[in-house]
Every structure is written in C-alpha cells, then in structure tokens.
Amino acid sequence: MPIGKPDDSINASVLRPTDCSTELALILKLGSFLAGLPSLREMLEGAISIITEYFKLDAGRVYLIDGNGQSLILAGSKGIDTDGLEKMRLNEGFSGMAVRTRSFLTRHVSELDDERRAGFYSRHGLKTIICVPLMVRNEIMGVMNFAATKDVLPDSAQIDLLCAAGSQVAIA
C-alpha cells in the first residue's frame, strides 16, 4: 500500500504496537511509558526493563553526568548489584568512554582496564557490556549501560534501535 493512502484496517489516529514491526513497537512502548511517569528513577528503571526485555539482556544501568561535568552518577538500575558502582569519573570504564567519545560501544568484560570492575562483572557472570550515550541536540547527558551473561555483538539495525531508544530516554 502506498504511503499516505488510508487503510481501513488500521485506525489512522492511533498506532498500536501490535500494528507495526517489533522494532517500532519497542519505540512506541518505550515512548508511551516514558510519557507517563513523574519520578526520574521510576522512569529510568522502567526504560531499562523494557530495553533489557526486548534485547534479552541481563542487567542495565543509567548514569547521568553530574552538575560539574566530571562524573557519572547512577540514576537507575535493574538486574545488578550496584554497590560500588554509584559514581564514576568520566575517564573510567566503558561508560566513561562512551560519554567521552559520544559513541555507542560493545565490549567484552575482559577488555576493561580496571581489574576491580572487571572482577566485579566476572563474579556476576557478565561477559558483554553495551553502552548507549544519552544525547539531546548533540549535548551528552549520560549513558545507558547494559550487561549480558553471553557474548553479544549487535548488528547495525540493533545498534540503531538501541540508539533510538537512548534518544527517547534522553529526551524524557
């Protein structure tokens, strides 16, 4: 069916997740969820839940840049003990690298320079870390950090989808 031509089988004023591709359904579900919550922690932890469920990841965290622009502060998490992970400098870990470079990254835990942090992830059975920068109008606000107990290498479509999800979270 050509774009712009109405289809009687779909109510043109309401696009439901069941009416579209699974990728678009994720963005619609996430956008709808983010629009309805007043609490920042609730919003971030719900977004982490939606994304980890969709991509079958084991854990997630969101860090926001502090007021001085020098550190990342844990603002929400799901599926991982965050003791000792509440704050990090921008020159630390994969999350700091994603913020500094303003880029998506996927890394194996064994690639971490910080032995303490690598040991922490290994003890929890985690193998892969995925970082999605949170940006609005080229301003970096923080990073979503996901972890998996298996080796994960997202393809370009999955990377695009994770970045689109990150944009939704950053805007919210």
pLDDT 10s digits, 114-133 = 888 888 888 889 999 999 99
Q: What is the pLDDT of residue 38?
A: 65
Q: What is the DSSP letter of 74?
A: E
Q: Does 151 score more than 60 pLDDT?
A: yes
* Average pLDDT, integer, range 135-150: 93
More confident residue, 144 or 20: 144
CA 99 centroid distance within chain: 13
Q: Report the C-alpha gap between 37 and 143 in whole angstroms.
A: 20
**Is residue 104 within 8 Å of 131, Cβ to Cβ?**
yes
Q: What is the pLDDT of residue 133?
A: 95
Q: Report the C-alpha gap between 91 and 70 in whole angstroms.
A: 9
Per residue in 24-50, pLDDT (tens digit) is 778 778 877 777 766 888 888 989 999
Angle at 18 between CA 13 and CA 23, to 5 degrees: 100
Q: Does 108 score more than 70 pLDDT?
A: yes
Cβ neighbour number for residue 28 with a 10 Å cutoff = 17
Amino acid at 113: D
* Average pLDDT, integer, range 142-167: 92
Q: Report the C-alpha gap between 58 and 150 in whole angstroms.
A: 9
> What rounded mean pLDDT belongs to the chain?
83
Residue 86's SS3 state is: coil
